[in-house]
Amino acid sequence: MTPRTSAPRSTLRLTGAAVIAACLALVGACSGGGKGKSTGEQEESPLSAYFSDLFGEQDLAKANAKQLQAEEAVARCMAEEGFEYTPVDYSALSETLEESTPEDDTRSREWAEKNGYGYSIAIDGEEPEGLAEFTDPNSDYINSLTESEQIAYYEALYGPSSEAEFETPPLSEQGCYGAAQSEVHGDGSEAFYESEEVDAFNEAITALEEEISGDPRQAKIDAAWASCMADAGMDGYASPDEASEDFANRTNAFWETLDWEALGPDEQPEPDPDLQKAERATAVADFDCKEKVGYQAAHDKIRFAKESEFIKTHQAELEALKDAYRKVGL
């Protein structure tokens, strides 16, 4: 079987640090799920504002430069392993995607009508312009290899496959990619994301999210939303998060049960039209009900108050986290 592209795995691994940084800066978006989509501009949350000094626009250029350095290091390492590798410049892709997919687009009714929550529809939906134009410069070379050579190629690039599905192995076990990350970023970045400061922050954020979800005011607005959804024929969801997660799970199940071996080398899987239709209908009803009950404003009022109190209570720990981040130089 010929892999269709090497880009997805590379992209996920290479942007891991950026995702964590974004989660620190936009904690509501990372943990709020369905609560984050509505019309109009959203006011910056207290935690997002608190961490904004760490993640300015100048950091994107710095991160892109380091990522390209890592790609060049990967190429040198792969050559030593006997393989060709062309460094991938992801900076143009990320900039194009930012321009082609404005944040407000994903909070519009029109977006929901076309894309649902962005799960099952992504199987055959139109890709953002930048993604559609992106071509992995290594694809032709990879496709020229035999199946056994491809297996050896990916093992050299990423290290041996991990038995633990959701555990990321240390950089030393991640092949040329891990070696390149160590060379460019040093061991400090890995140590930071496994540090006591980050662990403490994650635990505190989890507790904060549970406190927000358990607030009686949140339960009241969730109930109003659920009643509206039931009236629209979408009964069974207690909150927007449940609706979104339902289609994420159903889409994952689609991929997990797909018989990839039965597909030809250039054949794409047929999407489930019933699942796509249901996702679009649910996402639109979700949007309309949020608008009807004033969901976003009510949720933000609760979140912002809780986050402000969180910052006061955890001031020392948050400053320690910021200091640790700066010392690593991410």
The identity of residue 145, as a single letter, is L
- Whole-number Å distance between alpha carbons of 225 and 293: 6
Torsional class of 118: left (φ above 0), alpha (ψ -120 to 50), beta (otherwise): left
Q: How many CA atoms lie within 13 A of 173 on its CB side?
A: 8
Highest mean pLDDT among 16-25, 178-187, 217-226: 217-226
CA distances 110 to 116, 172, 204, 284, Å, are 9, 46, 36, 9
Highest mean pLDDT among 112-121, 156-165, 167-176, 283-292: 283-292
Residue 103 has a pLDDT of 52
Which of 90, 121, 95 shows the shortest CA–CA distance to 106? Answer: 121
**Model confidence over 111-153: pLDDT tens digits?**
999 999 999 886 444 544 444 456 789 999 999 999 999 999 9
- Whole-number Å distance between alpha carbons of 27 and 202: 10
CA distances 298 to 214, 231, 304, Å, are 14, 21, 10
Q: What is the mean pLDDT of the chain?
A: 80
* Both structure tokens of 264: 């030809």
Whether the pLDDT of residue 290 is over 80: the answer is: yes
Whether the pLDDT of residue 245 is over 60: the answer is: yes
Residue 34 has a pLDDT of 40
Torsional class of 136: left (φ above 0), alpha (ψ -120 to 50), beta (otherwise): beta
The identity of residue 288, as a single letter, is D
Section 226-239 average pLDDT: 97
For residue 13, give the 3-state DSSP assignment: helix
- Whole-number Å distance between alpha carbons of 29 and 36: 6
- Whole-number Å distance between alpha carbons of 113 and 265: 32
- Whole-number Å distance between alpha carbons of 165 and 186: 25
Whether the pLDDT of residue 16 is over 70: the answer is: no
Residue 206 has a pLDDT of 92
- When mean pLDDT is compared across 84-88, 172-176, 257-261, the lowest value belongs to 257-261
- Whole-number Å distance between alpha carbons of 155 and 166: 18
Whether the pLDDT of residue 17 is over 60: the answer is: no
String of DSSP letters for 78-119: HHHTT---PPP--HHHHHHHHHHS-GGGGGSHHHHHHHTTSS
- Residues of the chain above pLDDT 90, percent: 48
Residue 128 has a pLDDT of 46
Whether the pLDDT of residue 84 is over 80: the answer is: yes
Residue 182 has a pLDDT of 87
Highest mean pLDDT among 21-25, 36-40, 133-137, 306-310: 306-310
* Element of type H or E holding 263: none
Whether the pLDDT of residue 159 is over 80: the answer is: yes
**Cβ atoms 92, 103 nearer than 8 A:** no
- Whole-number Å distance between alpha carbons of 70 and 214: 43
Residue 90 has a pLDDT of 81
